[in-house]
């Protein structure tokens, strides 16, 4: 009897294997491949989404956009976007510091470090649904194929074509599907197509993200417009985030890079949804030089300072929108830490609170559990003293001098926690170090989204 049972189980296992192979063949014959996903209902729009929807962004002279359906993984939606940049465009970038960076990230970094011909045109190609990460040598082959095809179609050097990929890790990028759409993309290029491009780069995002600023330069207006995607796997070192910012400012690439780099830490590196850093994060900033304003050559000038402030505002707006679209988020939370021994300690405390599952779930439940904040401060590794610690919910003094404030009422804290936008302020009472970071709550919806991301 035992032998018959074993034979039956072996036969059943073999049959299951044959069925699996037949299903794979059917998908391949239908042109679906192994990584495409059937269309499924989109995630409901975040309750924290901007009330006015996607903003009206200014047209940036020298920039054109297009987006198409290529079937990289998603069905019935645009999933590849192309940006064409005019000759003379200066380009800067910031990328994930993950040690398992995707091939497209490594390629972009190498191109920005190499010798650059700013007189030629440039382009950016982005796909969603597949991250082309942890795909071995095939990953770089796919990057070379898609960037080469764009270079040939637009007549620009391949060294000036930058690519990004976002989505599932560990699956080969079906680059042939993207290449097959290059002609359609180039034919559809439109200076007013930025919103369509923002939608094409979304994965678990529930709304497209855009921001803008205008700066009065010497002799004309300088315009800045940016788009981003990001919802989960968001943590400092650039989050799972793709960001593309465009300006018509006349500014050389080294100066542009300097302004970008000094604004990253207090914007995109000051947000966290779930403490996970992606393999694919990229921020590309392109300046076409087509504004009528005079060139920005001195970063100490009034125009340079105004441009820097405008750029920072766009970066901050996009970073906050990423948090407002955090997977399953219902609360937007600002963590302000002051009185730390130094800025590094302030950051340690802020991120410890922002990443604490206990703090984040209490916020989701609208529970003013300030004891969890005390615990997060204590585990941070920063210098702290119980008797100097002060905690506030907005303007409500919760705890001070090593104890709950005598004037604090639990019902006041509970009422405050019902708001969508919250501020948790902690003063360590030790020094002058300060840092602000932004996060969201942690709800069961986060588990729902991530538990079946590949299925």
Residue 327 annotated in ligand binding: yes
**Is 400 within 8 Å of 358 (Cβ atoms)?**
no
Residue 450 annotated in ligand binding: yes
**Is 168 within 8 Å of 131 (Cβ atoms)?**
yes
Residue 240 annotated in ligand binding: yes
SS3 string, 307-320, reads: HHHHHHHHHHHHHH
Catalytic-residue membership of 240: yes
Closest by Cα among 350, 372, 351, 375 to 363: 372
**Is 325 within 8 Å of 246 (Cβ atoms)?**
no
Catalytic-labelled residue, pool 240, 267, 338, 443: 240
List residues bridging with 417 in a β-sheet.
none
Helix pair 137-154, 103-113: axis angle to 10 deg: 60
**Is 175 within 8 Å of 208 (Cβ atoms)?**
no
What order do you get walking across the sheet with 122-130 strand by strand? 63-68, 80-85, 122-130, 161-168
237: helix, strand or coil: coil
Q: Which residues contact 281 (CB under 8 A, 6 or more apart)?
A: 95, 96, 98, 105, 237, 238, 239, 240, 241, 242
Residue 455 annotated in ligand binding: yes
**Is 123 within 8 Å of 156 (Cβ atoms)?**
yes
Detail the residues annotated as belonging to a binding site: 203, 229, 240, 327, 450, 455
Catalytic residue numbers?
Answer: 240
Detail the residues annotated as belonging to a binding site for substrate: 203, 229, 240, 327, 450, 455
């Amino acid at each position: 009897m035992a032998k018959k049972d074993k034979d039956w189980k072996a036969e059943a296992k073999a049959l299951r294997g044959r069925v699996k192979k037949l299903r794979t063949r059917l998908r391949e014959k239908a042109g679906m491949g192994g990584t495409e996903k059937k269309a499924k209902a989109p995630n409901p729009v975040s309750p924290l989404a901007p009330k006015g929807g996607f903003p009206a962004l200014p047209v940036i002279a020298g920039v054109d956009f297009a987006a198409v359906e290529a079937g990289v993984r998603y069905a019935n939606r645009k999933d590849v976007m192309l940006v064409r940049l005019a000759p003379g465009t200066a380009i800067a970038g910031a990328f994930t510091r993950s040690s398992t960076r995707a091939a497209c990230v490594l390629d972009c970094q190498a191109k920005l470090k190499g010798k650059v011909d700013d007189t030629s045109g440039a382009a950016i190609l982005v796909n969603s649904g597949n991250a082309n990460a942890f795909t071995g040598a095939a990953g770089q082959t796919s990057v070379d194929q898609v960037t080469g095809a764009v270079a040939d179609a637009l007549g620009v050097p391949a060294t000036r074509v930058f690519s990004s990929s976002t989505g599932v890790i560990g699956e080969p990028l079906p680059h042939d599907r993207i290449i097959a759409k290059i002609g359609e993309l180039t034919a559809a290029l439109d200076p007013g197509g930025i919103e369509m491009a923002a939608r094409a780069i979304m994965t678990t995002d529930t709304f497209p993200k855009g921001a803008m600023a205008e700066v009065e330069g010497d002799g004309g207006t300088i315009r800045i417009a940016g788009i981003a995607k990001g919802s989960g796997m968001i943590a400092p070192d650039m989050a799972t985030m793709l960001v593309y910012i465009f300006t018509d400012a006349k500014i050389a690439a080294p100066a542009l890079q300097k302004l970008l780099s000094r604004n990253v830490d207090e914007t995109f590196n000051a947000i966290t949804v779930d403490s996970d850093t992606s393999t694919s994060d990229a921020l590309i900033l392109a300046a076409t030089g087509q504004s009528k304003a005079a060139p920005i050559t001195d970063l100490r000038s009034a125009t340079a300072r105004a441009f820097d402030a405008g750029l920072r505002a766009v970066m901050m707006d996009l970073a906050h929108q990423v948090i407002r679209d955090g997977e399953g988020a219902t609360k937007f939370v600002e963590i302000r830490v002051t009185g730390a021994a130094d800025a590094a300690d302030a950051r340690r405390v802020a991120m410890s609170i922002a990443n604490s599952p206990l703090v984040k779930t209490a916020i989701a439940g609208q529970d003013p559990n300030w004891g969890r904040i005390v615990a997060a401060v204590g585990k941070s590794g920063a210098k702290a003293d119980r008797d100097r610690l002060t905690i506030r919910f907005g303007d409500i003094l919760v705890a001070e001098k090593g104890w709950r404030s005598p004037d604090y009422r639990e019902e006041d804290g509970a009422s405050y926690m019902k708001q969508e936008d919250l501020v948790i302020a902690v003063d360590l009472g030790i020094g002058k170090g300060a840092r602000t970071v932004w996060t969201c709550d942690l709800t069961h919806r986060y588990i729902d989204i991530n538990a079946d991301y590949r299925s």
